[in-house]
Amino acid sequence: MLSPKLAFLLLLLHAVSGSAYRWFNWQFEVTCESDAYIAPQNELAAAKFLKEQYHEGSHIKVVGNGHGFGNLTTCVDNTLTKKPTYIVSLTNLKKLSIDKKNLTVTFGAGWDVDDLVQELKANDLSFGNLGVERVQNFVGAASTGTHGSGSNIGNIASQITGLRVLDSQGNLRVINETHNAEELKAFRISLGALGLITELTIKVQPTQLLKKTTKVLNATSDFSKMYQELDQLYKEHDRMTVWGPHFDWDENTQSWALEPTYFLSYWEPTDYTGVRNCTLNYCANGCGDCKKEYICYDEVTDAVSCPPQGVCSRDFYAEIEHFLPIESYAEAAANYTTFQQAQTPRMKAPYNKQMVIQHRTLKGDDTYLSPVNTYNLGPESSGVFAIIEIDWIQEYNNFTTLWQNQELAHEFLPQFGETYNVRPHWNKMSPPNATYTLEKFPKLPEFLAIQQRQDPKCQFVNEFLVQQLGITRCADYISL
């Protein structure tokens, strides 16, 4: 029989060499080496795991589907720490129950957005709002404030009415509109920093159809004029996304050539009862024939978002997405576009293909870390936010080009943040700066107090969170 010491050494050896797990995000630029990938079978097993790891002070990074453009899911690399470090996925937590009377759905953290869409559809129910794609895990998507477009609709986290969460000691906390209601404002968008959310309850609605109208517009290099026109259209249509203007990389001039046209879609309620046909044209990823005028009708999720079969391209791309009070939209959009053009001569890396500027709107809310939180708005503000997104798409998955474009993308926030009260989309190229974060998220101190209670030994943080949120007590999180 092996001596206990030898058995322990063998176990350690196995932990070091046998079961190491390398994590990558969807486009492989976020990566880290953990000791293992842990996927507990249920909430109880997750709590037990946390309880055991608390004594070790192990590093724990809970992940969804890794569909981000930033470092939220980076684990503490095992080359940097003597403590165990784990990637934890709650993918096996698949319980689901539907309360048709109160129009709520309660589900385990393992549910992905698209699977939930199908389950709701089968029960004649629907989400009130959704992002453009459905590739995310629902908790992962909500935890960063994922959203669609609409001046009267919130991000998907705003649908959450309750949740169950495990702290770093494995203790369970139940938070909902009657129990710890104020804390819901912290937990709806929690960036994985407040513990493992094991279950969510969200509001849903009876199946509704929307009419989607798509129009082609002429682009002009007079950006002020173009965006003033869009600003006007946002006053006419409360639920509208603008895809464009589009620019194509011109090899000869080494610059971006403006495409003559771009398009927008707006959605309206309808009493239509005929064939549902919006999924005949997938335009979230440039799939399908998008630049054409058409009208379609569909159940709300299929009218506003793209199912996995509609995703035809996974080329690398860099992206920024910034939220700002809608009152500054036209001026800001013109200045963002001009600033991008000023960056063009520095885009020396090869394989640029297309640049798309997208525009949306979103209703403000009171979630502490929501990019559309209304805590620092003045009385002149309507509480509606405009969203400006820029995507730099490559013709080939080349890291040099990706990293170059990401570096340049980081310059937009310092350039415009103060002027337009800009908040970046979490998980999308937000440069870490705790002073800035505090200014735009005045409830950050309240969030950090809960973070300390949930994670006293700094096991849930990574470098990005420590720097971005200014979690100074965790500055030495690797060695604590």
Which residues are near ligand FAD by CB under 6 A? 26, 62-68, 72-73, 90, 109, 131-133, 136-137, 139-141, 143-144, 146-147, 191-192, 196-197, 427
> Residue 66 Cβ, how far from ligand FAD at the closest point, in Å?
5
For the CA atoms of 227, 375, 473, 83, the dihedral, rounded to the nearest 10 degrees, stands at -60
CA atoms of 191 and 420, how far apart (whole Å): 24
> Residue 93 Cβ, how far from ligand FAD at the closest point, in Å?
8
Length of the chain: 480
Instruction: Indicate the residue among 73 and 340 with the shorter CB distance to ligand FAD.
Output: 73
Instruction: Indicate the residue among 258 and 430 with the shorter CB distance to ligand FAD.
Output: 430
- What's the sign of the alpha-carbon dihedral 114, 116, 119, 120? negative
What are the distances in angstroms from CA 398 to CA 89, 317, 349, 401, 428?
29, 10, 9, 6, 19
> Residue 7 Cβ, how far from ligand FAD at the closest point, in Å?
33
Instruction: Indicate the residue among 461 and 478 with the shorter CB distance to ligand FAD.
Output: 461
> Residue 378 Cβ, how far from ligand FAD at the closest point, in Å?
26
Give Cα 349 to chain centroid, integer Å: 27
Instruction: Indicate the residue among 187 and 223 with the shorter CB distance to ligand FAD.
Output: 187
- 3-state SS assignment for residue 454: helix
Phi-psi region of 253 (alpha: psi -120 to 50; beta: other; left: phi over 0): alpha
What are the phi and psi torsion angles at 368 (to 5°)? -50, -50
> Residue 345 Cβ, how far from ligand FAD at the closest point, in Å?
28
> Residue 8 Cβ, how far from ligand FAD at the closest point, in Å?
31
Instruction: Indicate the residue among 107 and 223 with the shorter CB distance to ligand FAD.
Output: 107
Instruction: Indicate the residue among 40 and 417 with the shorter CB distance to ligand FAD.
Output: 40
Instruction: Indicate the residue among 192 and 424 with the shorter CB distance to ligand FAD.
Output: 192
Element housing 62 (H / E): strand 59-63
What are the phi and psi torsion angles at 227 (to 5°)? -75, -25
What are the distances in angstroms from CA 255 to CA 192, 290, 340, 357, 373?
39, 24, 11, 16, 37
Strand ranges (E), 305-366: 317-325, 352-363
Contacts of 4 by beta carbon, 8 Å cutoff, 6+ apart:
none
β-strand pairing of 317-325 with 423-424: antiparallel
Q: What is the largest CA-CA distance in the chain?
A: 81
> Residue 144 Cβ, how far from ligand FAD at the closest point, in Å?
4
Instruction: Indicate the residue among 111 and 223 with the shorter CB distance to ligand FAD.
Output: 111
**Beta-bridge mates of residue 214:** 265, 294
- What's the sign of the alpha-carbon dihedral 148, 408, 403, 257? positive
CB atoms within 10 A of CB 478: 19
Instruction: Indicate the residue among 296 and 318 with the shorter CB distance to ligand FAD.
Output: 318
Instruction: Indicate the residue among 50 and 330 with the shorter CB distance to ligand FAD.
Output: 50
> Residue 191 Cβ, how far from ligand FAD at the closest point, in Å?
4
Strand ranges (E), 288-410: 294-299, 317-325, 352-363, 384-394
Instruction: Indicate the residue among 258 and 424 with the shorter CB distance to ligand FAD.
Output: 424
Element housing 202 (H / E): strand 196-203
> Residue 149 Cβ, how far from ligand FAD at the closest point, in Å?
9
> Residue 100 Cβ, how far from ligand FAD at the closest point, in Å?
26
> Residue 432 Cβ, how far from ligand FAD at the closest point, in Å?
14
> Residue 369 Cβ, how far from ligand FAD at the closest point, in Å?
11
Instruction: Indicate the residue among 192 and 470 with the shorter CB distance to ligand FAD.
Output: 192
**Beta-bridge mates of residue 358:** 243, 389
What are the distances in angstroms from CA 427 to CA 170, 356, 369?
26, 19, 13
